[in-house]
Amino acid sequence: MAPAVFTSMKSPRILPNSPFARIARLVLGSSSVAMVLGNTIHLSGATREEFLRDPYWVAHEMCHIRQFREHGYVRFLWKYLIESARVGYYNNKYEAEARLAGQRDAQFYAHNGVLPDPATMHRGAGEPS
């Protein structure tokens, strides 16, 4: 059963080959990036299928969708940017919350309820390999 906060949410749109995610990928120096703007998950360096096969990554990005909904589009972008400027991307409290959600909620996005080994999953920028 999915977390209650997700059950009333409209399904997100997934946009592969996003120019926004490509810029983020270059800035972060990562081989693949998923980033959320509103209710859309933008991908670069990963296909829709690769993203959806990784329940930890999906849970992380779903947390960002919830954050957008809670704070509002413009307000959340502003808060996220200010927080990143203040403490950096990795220490950004919204990223920390999403990393925690990635671990805590991955089971809700796992295929057939089976979680893959976390060591084989996507690593975000600044995370240990």
- Read off the pLDDT of residues 8-25 as tens digits, 9 standing for 90 and up: 567 999 999 999 999 999
What mean pLDDT comes out for the span 28-45? 96
Cβ neighbours, 10 Å, residue 18: 20
pLDDT at 17: 98
pLDDT band at 36 (very low <50, low <70, confident <90, very high): very high
Q: Which of 96, 87, 25, 88 is nearest to 64 (CA)?
A: 96
The yes-or-no verdict on residue 123 having pLDDT over 90 is no
Q: What is the pLDDT of residues 87-112, one digit of tens each?
A: 999 999 999 999 999 999 999 999 88
Side chain identity at residue 58, one-letter code: V
| Entry pTM | 0.88
Rounded to whole angstroms, the Cα distance separating 25 from 80 reads 17
